[in-house]
């Protein structure tokens, strides 16, 4: 097996130690915002619509529900704090794609892909428009993104992708003129029309505040234990109270589904992230990156990165860790081997930054589905609608999911609800221990492919053939 560039050009152990030494196990995006405490649910309440989950999907559902019908009584229940989970821990990429990229979308829904692409672009435009109209300052920037080829075999992948006339194929010199990485062999530039960047914490807290201004009651530390039928409506119960409503929307993301039918539809895969201190003027000059494009490389085990307006570098990805049993646990967030590997890879990508201090390290669980993008459904005779399974691309798609759930809750037949992508559900994951065995075998195979010029083994080719092929 050949080595990868991350191994061939690894920095010294001393440089990695120095970079990580100041870091704390904290989420930068949440440290960087004011987080007002909100009350918990106490006693029994009534509403027209109750939303379970205070991440992006739940928050967009609350905002869009009130914008559709200002008189609708809406209560949102969050188990912990607004935006504390995936919505406050992600890389801040807002992509127009609803299907986790063109290849995945065309393979699964070829007859409606063009429609899905249009709806995705419209959703991103609506995302930006809503933030402007609601007065949400989330550092939204249509910066676009740049895919980097860092191995020779990846250049052919760039050439194939560049057949799309909207994308710009760059040679090594043009790529390094944008971001001066010595390992960049070429690049593919995605326009701002398709990819924007945000501050995840500001987005979550800003949407919550906007929802409250619209009249939504947002309650924290109100973990829903179960959903019950209650006459023509539903009742959701916490340990301290309940809300009875005509309709409920479930936006619980990676956490165990409140509906038995959805419990095998996602698994939690942990993703690890670093954030540096703000770069000084000399460091900024050394790396370029004046356009703030989001970065990703083309390996199966890929990295993603952005540079914030104040000059901090976020760097995450590569390891995608599933813990046997499929549980979400705080102790999984501290994984020294993954954070050390990321620090090493950051200094390989941008060796000019040797000496930079990493201030924050964290992790978050991704709600991974077998089709790698969100799925939707209804239950309890149409009283309950749900969405989950974004597989790491939910920042933008969560707004679309909110619209779909509201369509379903209202009993509306819309362009969205008629999509096969919306009407179909993904294959479930097998129960344990089969899930662990399959996921670990796939991760091993992806790593092997990255060490073998991108060549996929029999397992990966078989998964590709049945529509289950994926990267990290």
Is residue 409 a contact partner of residue 247, using CB atoms and an 8 Å limit? yes
Indicate the range of 116-120, 324-328, 396-400 predicted with least confidence: 324-328
Integer Cα distance of 298 and 312 in angstroms:
23
pLDDT at 374 over 90: yes
- Six-digit token string for 126: 């609506």
Give the Cβ contact number of residue 457 at 10 Å: 14
Extract the tokens encoding 430.
Answer: 């097998």
Q: Cα 289 to chain center, whole Å?
A: 23
Least confident of 241-255, 301-315, 361-375, 436-450: 436-450
pLDDT digits (tens, 9 = 90+) for 75-98: 999 999 999 999 999 999 999 999
The CA distance from 77 to 94, in Å, is 25
pLDDT tens digits, 184-213: 999 999 999 999 999 999 999 999 999 999
Angle 56-68/113-134 helices, nearest 10 degrees?
Answer: 80
Q: What is the pTM of this model?
A: 0.96
Rounded to whole angstroms, the Cα distance separating 443 from 438 reads 9
In the structure, what pLDDT confidence band is assigned to residue 472 with cuts at 50, 70 and 90? very low
Q: What is the pLDDT of residues 118-173, one digit of tens each?
A: 999 999 999 999 999 999 999 999 999 999 999 999 999 999 998 999 999 999 99
Angle between helices 394-410 and 56-68 (to 10 degrees): 50
- When pLDDT is averaged across residues 33-58 and rounded to a whole number, the result is 98
Nearest-angstrom CA–CA distance, 355 and 307 = 17
Give percent of the chain above pLDDT 70: 99
Picking from 223, 266, 294, 299, the residue whose alpha carbon sits closest to that of residue 365 is 266
Phi/psi class of residue 265: alpha, beta or left (left: φ > 0; alpha: ψ in -120 to 50)?
Answer: alpha
**Are residues 201 and 273 in contact, defined by beta-carbon separation less than 8 angstroms?**
no
pLDDT-based confidence at 469, cuts 50/70/90?
Answer: low
Report the sign of the C-alpha dihedral through residues 194, 189, 290, 33, in that order: positive
Over the range 26-42, which residues count as b (16 or more CB within 10 Å of their CB) and which as e?
ebbbbebbebeebebbe
Picking from 117, 124, 130, the residue whose alpha carbon sits closest to that of residue 142 is 124
Quote the CA–CA distance of 83 and 205 in Å, as a whole number. 7
Instruction: Enter the tokens of residue 469.
Output: 């092929």
236 has a pLDDT exceeding 70: yes
Share of residues in the chain with pLDDT > 90 (%): 90
Q: What is the rounded distance in angstroms from the CA atom of residue 422 to the CA atom of residue 8?
A: 44
Question: CA 401, 403, 409 angle in degrees (round to 5)?
Answer: 100
The length of the chain in residues reads 472
Taking Cα atoms as reference points, which of 374, 320, 369 lies closest to residue 97? 374
Q: Are strands 233-238 and 224-230 parallel, antiparallel or unpaired?
A: antiparallel
Give pLDDT, residue 447.
86
Its sign, for the CA torsion 344, 346, 352, 356, is negative
Helix or strand (DSSP H, E) at 29: helix 28-31
């Amino acid at each position: 097996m050949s080595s990868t560039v991350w191994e061939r050009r690894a920095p010294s152990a001393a440089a990695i130690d120095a970079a990580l030494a100041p870091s704390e196990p904290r989420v930068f995006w949440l440290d960087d915002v004011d987080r007002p405490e909100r009350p918990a649910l106490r006693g029994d309440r009534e509403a027209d619509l109750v939303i379970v989950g205070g991440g992006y999907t739940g928050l967009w559902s609350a905002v869009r529900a009130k914008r559709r019908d200002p008189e609708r009584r809406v209560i949102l229940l969050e188990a912990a704090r607004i935006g504390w989970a995936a919505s406050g821990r992600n890389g801040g990429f807002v992509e127009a794609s609803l299907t986790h990229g063109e290849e995945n979308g065309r393979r699964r829904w070829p007859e409606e892909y063009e429609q899905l692409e249009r709806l995705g672009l419209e959703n991103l435009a609506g995302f930006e428009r809503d933030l402007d109209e609601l007065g949400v300052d989330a550092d939204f920037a249509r910066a676009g993104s740049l895919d980097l080829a860092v191995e020779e075999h990846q250049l052919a992948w760039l050439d194939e992708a560049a057949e799309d006339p909207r994308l710009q194929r760059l040679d090594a010199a043009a790529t390094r003129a944008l971001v001066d990485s010595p390992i960049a062999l070429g690049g593919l530039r995605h326009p701002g029309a398709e990819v924007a960047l945000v501050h995840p914490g500001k987005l979550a807290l800003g949407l919550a505040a906007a929802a409250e201004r619209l009249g939504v009651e947002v309650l924290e530390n109100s973990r829903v234990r179960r959903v019950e039928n209650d006459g023509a409506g539903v009742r959701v119960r916490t340990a301290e109270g309940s809300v009875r409503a005509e309709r409920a929307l479930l936006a619980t993301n990676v956490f165990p589904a409140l509906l038995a039918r959805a419990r095998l539809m996602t698994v939690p895969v942990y993703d690890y992230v670093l954030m540096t201190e703000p770069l000084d003027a000399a460091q900024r000059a050394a790396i370029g990156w004046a356009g703030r494009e989001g970065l990703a490389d083309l390996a199966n085990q890929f990295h993603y990165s952005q540079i914030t307006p104040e000059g901090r570098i976020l760097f995450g990805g590569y390891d995608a860790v599933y813990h046997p049993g499929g549980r979400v646990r705080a102790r999984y967030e501290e994984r020294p081997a993954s954070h050390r590997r990321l620090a090493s890879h950051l200094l390989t990508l941008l060796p000019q930054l040797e000496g930079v201090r990493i201030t924050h390290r964290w992790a978050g669980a991704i709600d991974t589905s077998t089709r790698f993008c969100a799925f939707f459904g209804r239950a309890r005779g149409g009283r309950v609608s749900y969405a989950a399974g974004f597989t790491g691309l939910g920042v933008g798609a969560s707004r679309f999911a909110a619209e779909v759930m509201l369509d379903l809750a209202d009993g509306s037949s819309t362009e969205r609800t008629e999509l096969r992508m919306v009407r179909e559900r993904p294959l479930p994951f097998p129960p344990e221990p089969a899930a662990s065995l399959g996921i670990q075998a796939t991760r091993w195979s992806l790593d092997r492919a990255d060490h073998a010029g991108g060549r996929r083994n029999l397992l990966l080719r078989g998964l590709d053939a049945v529509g289950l092929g994926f990267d990290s």
